[in-house]
Amino acid sequence: MAGVHGSSSLLILGIRGPHLEADEAALFRKLQPAGYILFGRNIVSAEQTRALTDELRALSLDEPIVAIDQEGGRVTRTREIAPSQPSAVALAAAGTPYQISEAGILTATQLRLLGCNLNFGPVLDLDHHPELQNSLRGRCWGRDPQRVIDRAGMWNRWMRKKGLRSCAKHFPACGRALSDPHFDLPVSDATISDLLKEDVIPYTALMPELDAIMLAHVLFPAIDPEHPASLSRRMISGFLRGQLGFDKHLVLTDDLDMGAIGDRYPDNSDVTAAIQAGNDLALICHRTERAEDAAARIAALGSHILEDAEKRVARFRQRLHAPLPWSAELWAKTSEGIAKLAAEVPEPAASVPASSPVADY
């Protein structure tokens, strides 16, 4: 499997706009990436988005991952075509168990109608620094691990029951970041002992109900002084997989084009470092012109490094659910349900202006 298609199957790629251009389609057909990620730039209408995901499937030899960040609140990629779900903060503060489960159900239905099969959520970061701009404002389910388990777990559970795969993020603790990784590389002085006391508890408690884990672009010098968590073999192969037992889960990087990584690895060495560290997938969300070179560099790593990752990716793709049959009626009904829920669970007044590219993609 370590040929062109095998190596490329360890990439998740972004798409330039709402329609595939000829050169893009040719690249995707050649590389056969494991999947794709949608952003607001790809979404003009529900029908157009579904046509786009159908076209991506038609290019793929196997069922592709079609992922999106749809957390609710300010991280809502469909905000131009549908009402926004309440944020995690709003649901944690005022949502009943029924409303939280309803949010998960509506999210799954909406995304499966659009042709998505993986949502990059729930956010399991503990909100250590609610006064700071570390990209997480309005995105965390709380500061207490048990409350995060209860609320994020319920949202995740009902989303998965309705046929959408989930990805917990940002392991081990992006909530400890003092700055926004979209701009630079945050640093935390947390140790393994610190993380075990609080931050990784939601991950281990929800382990049987998580399909995938996304790594944080945060440097933890007490654990690995040279590599951010997303590129750290000590963090991924040693701590996440070896010590905590996530050896069967799909593990992937956050977007490698973010400032925390992209400014430091201009030559695609971030992609190979990610796979060598124990990630199964590397995300190239914006600078997809580097995808072909990245795929070639991954292939050069050799089968002894790629075999386990390729097996996990193949197993994950086999468990993906097909899109729901397109229905304008069901789309309208789902949008009405979201609007009703948003009216019932209003957003709390923001104490700190939320400013991060994560809300604008």
| Residue 25 structure tokens | 């389609």
pLDDT in tens, 90-127: 999 999 999 999 999 999 999 999 999 999 999 999 99
Contacts of 173 (CB under 8 A, 6+ apart): 125, 126, 128, 188, 190, 195, 199, 200, 216, 218
- pLDDT average, residue stretch 193-205: 98
Q: Which of 205, 214, 73 is nearest to 150 (CA)?
A: 205
Annotation says 182 is catalytic:
yes
Torsion of CA 203, 204, 207, 211, to 10 degrees: 30
Q: Give strand pairing partners of 72.
A: 75
Longest Cα separation, the chain: 54
Q: What angle do CA 48, 49, 52 make, to 5 degrees?
A: 90
Decide if 88 contacts 72 (C-beta within 8 A): yes
The pLDDT score that the predictor gives to residue 109 is 98
Least confident of 3-7, 304-308, 314-318, 344-348: 3-7
Summarised one tens digit per residue, pLDDT across range 120-175 is 999 999 998 777 666 788 899 999 999 999 999 999 999 999 999 999 999 999 88
> Which of 69, 127, 180, 182 is labelled catalytic?
182
Query: Do strands 165-171 and 118-119 pair parallel, antiparallel, or not at all (unpaired)?
Result: parallel
> Residue 3's pLDDT is what?
41
β-sheet bridge partners, residue 66: 36
125, 180, 211, 254: which one is catalytic?
A: 254
Q: Quick one: CA dihedral 159, 160, 166, 170, positive or negative? A: positive
| 26-54 core/surface letters (b: 16 or more CB in 10 A; e: else) | ebbeebbbbbbbbbbebbeebeebbbbbe
Query: Number of helices (H) and strands (E), helices first, in the chain?
Result: 14, 10
133-142, 308-317, 319-328, 352-361: which has the minimum mean pLDDT?
Answer: 352-361
pTM > 0.85: yes
CA-to-CA distance for 301 and 124, rounded, in angstroms? 32
- Assess whether 62 carries a catalytic annotation: no
- Cβ contacts of residue 239 below 8 Å, gap of 6+? 172, 192, 195, 223
pLDDT reading at 225 higher than 70: yes
Q: Which domains does the chain have, with CATH numbers?
A: 4-346 (3.20.20.300)
For position 267, what pLDDT does the model report? 81
Average pLDDT across the chain, whole number? 93
pLDDT of residue 289: 93
Burial 232-248 (b: 16+ CB within 10 A, else e): bbbbbbbbbbeebebee
Please give the distance of CA 88 from its chain centroid, rounded to a whole number.
15
